[in-house]
Structure 1
Amino acid sequence: MTLSVEQITGGYTKVPVIKEISFTVKPGEICGLIGLNGAGKSTTIKHIVGLLHAFEGRIAINHISLATNQEEYRRSLAFIPDSPILYEELTFREHIELTAKAYGQDTEETYQRAYHLVEQFHLTSKLDFYPAYFSKGMKQKVLIVCALMLDVPVYIIDEPFLGLDPLGIRTLLSCIREKKECGASIVMSTHVLDTAERFCDKFVILHEGKMLLSTTLEELLSKTGEDRLEEAYFTLLENNGDGDEC
């Protein structure tokens, strides 16, 4: 299914934080959201997942929006936030069960995917532990398992590498690649540009709440005359009057 973001203007108060953001992510594509701190990446993601409501514009998954069918829209996407927040009174296993039931995917196949992910992230011994016993990185892995065990057409991932160890990052990237190969549409916000260059099919570059470009790597390199994403990104910023680093 295609995720469409059409002319979104929005924010947290009456003052817009993002303005006229538009892009699409087709099945089998990974779209990287790139920008400085405060560029509007997380705000854009919060509008996509429905945590914020746009002042103007429309977001849809195959023409289904929060306004037309809220339940179907929410069940069409899985979200990995940048800051892990868990239910303190639920064990890891109970988080898995709650997520499966909330999405109407309380099936043996879903649990098989979940426990395979648990093994991949080396968390089998932690299934009956409560969040109070988890580090930040382990909490992030709980959320990753709960999102990636789901069979949905769209995955939204906000700064996924924060707090993860090298093995966790490698496992997550492998899982994201598998979802892409199965035809999922994926939006990933990240500051890790070398990883984005290797894994993303297209990029949405945000700056001060506005979209500078929605482009492929090849188009961006051609436009800037650079041969790597990082250099092309900074060249683009310099051409727009900002040379600050991420």
Structure 2
Amino acid sequence: MIEVKINHAGYHLEQLYLSDIHFSIPPGETVGLLGANGAGKSTTIKSIIGTIEAFDGEIHIKDGHRLAYIPEEPILYDHLTLWEHLRLAATSYDLPDEQWIPKAEELLKLFLLTGKEHHFPVHFSKGMKQKSLIVLSFMIKADIYIIDEPFIGLDPIATKNLITLLEQEKQRGAAILMTTHVLDSAEKLCDTFVLLHEGRMLFKGNLIELQQRTNQTLDTSLLDCFYYLLEEEVANEPRL
């Protein structure tokens, strides 16, 4: 569904932070892109969606496949209502009214945004803006979802509904790339993991492979494996 090969990437040619990041996301699978703050997760995502200045590599997405991106910080137009955002997205993807309007109304109801359709997002809370982006993305039924820290700012009900949507889209055959610091959720939702550290890929595989890589038992959590792997990496780094 999507293949990612990043030889080098960064915000400037003189500052290439990422190196040798390569992974793929098959249809119907969720990949968790994990790492501490500054590991390179956001830079990897921006490389995939083509908004990074300095990039050397290849991103392969099958022709005709729709990609939806939900950033960590919600970005919406101040002078368009929520409904105008939805109509703009539908127009961009050539969706007929009979297809997108019922789906939009269903999602608005699910995320408790019914009655806010004709309001301007500039007056929304961060959580409402985040839910608006979720509605926009899932309304188009994308083939690939790239979601950056999806649970930040969401209330428990919205979090549960988002998890249900992600599972439904995965069953439909969508490929999902998700970054999150909520590792217990990542453990439940993701099929495989890509762990980054200081712009490099430390690990790629499923939880059992990670447990084996870190010499842990099969009941060791993703959080503990993640900690052990980073601790090992830091211990092996050369001292200046």
TM over 0.5: yes
Per-residue deviation, residues 19-47 of structure 1 (Å, max 9, x unmatched): 11100000000000000001000110011
Q: In structure 2, which of residues 142, 149, 152 is the aligned counterpart of residue 159 of structure 1?
A: 149
Note the C-alpha offset of 1:151: 2.1
> Residue 34 of structure 1 aligns with which residue?
34
| Aligned-partner SS, 2:12 | coil
- Deviation, 1:53, is 5.0
Q: Which residue of 2 aligns with 1:187?
A: 177
Unmatched 5+ residue regions in structure 1?
Answer: 65-71
Partner of 2:211: 221
Alignment of 1:5 with 2:4, yes or no, is yes
Q: TM-score, length-normalised on structure 1?
A: 0.90
Pairwise mapping of residues 52-131 of structure 1 onto structure 2 (< 5 A)?
52-62=52-62, 72=64, 76-131=66-121
Residues 166-218 of structure 1 deviation map (CA, whole Å, 9 limit, x = unaligned): 11111111111111000000000110000000000000000000001111111
**Aligned sequence identity (%):** 45
SS at match of 1:95: helix
Specify whether residues 13 and 137 from structure 1 end up closer, same or farther in structure 2 by C-alpha distance, changes over 3 A only. same
* Paired AA for residue 207 in structure 2: L
CA RMSD for the aligned pairs?
A: 1.5
Superposition deviation, residue 7 in structure 1: 3.4
1:54-101 deviations in whole A, cap 9, x for unaligned? 531101113x5xxxxxxx5xx620000000111111111111100111
CA distance in 1, matches of 2:70, 2:145: 8
Number of residue-to-residue matches in the alignment: 232
> Aligned partners of 2:94 and 2:223: how far apart in 1?
41
Structure 2, unmatched stretches of 5+, are none
Following superposition, the deviation at residue 147 of structure 1 comes to 0.5
Give me the whole-angstrom Cα distance separating, in 1, the residues matched to 2:185 and 2:234: 26
How big is the shift at 1:241? Answer: 1.1
Give the Cα separation in 1 of the matches to 2:191 and 2:105. 29
